[in-house]
Amino acid sequence: MPARTDHAKLRGRSWRVLKDEFRKRCREVNARCWICDQQINYQAKFTDPASFEADHVKPVSTHPQLALIMGNLRPSHQSCNRGRGARPIDGAWTRADWS
Ligand SMILES: [Zn+2]
């Protein structure tokens, strides 16, 4: 099997399907950003820093096997997710019932 970079998993069709389903579930319960605990604008375009983005609890760079597991995703603002990078979050809001 040819080697693939970890983030290649996030460009495939299965990631888009998973992300869309996760976004739908989050929108239904109006889930807040798990990083800053503020409302997410689910209407915002992807170009908006306040728009929804699926964040990986365990970063893809260190846990590629969890990249496509919905239980490893949390709702976040695009700006929060990008700002966080691969740093772990201490004491952040967590829920066990997402998976
Ligand atoms: Zn946020």
Q: Whole-prediction pTM value? A: 0.76
Distance 50 CA to ligand 1 centre (A): 7
pLDDT (tens digit, 9 = 90+) per residue, 79-89?
A: 999 876 655 55
pLDDT for 95 equals 46
Model pLDDT, residue 92: 47
Contacts of 46 (CB under 8 A, 6+ apart): 78
For ligand 1, the distance from its centroid to the CA atom of residue 64, given in whole angstroms, is 23
User: Largest alpha-carbon pair distance within the chain?
Assistant: 43
User: What pLDDT score was predicted for residue 46?
Assistant: 85
Residue ranges per structural domain of the chain: 6-84
Question: Which of the residues in the chain have pLDDT under 70?
Answer: 1-6, 84-99
Residue 41's H or E segment, with its range, is: none
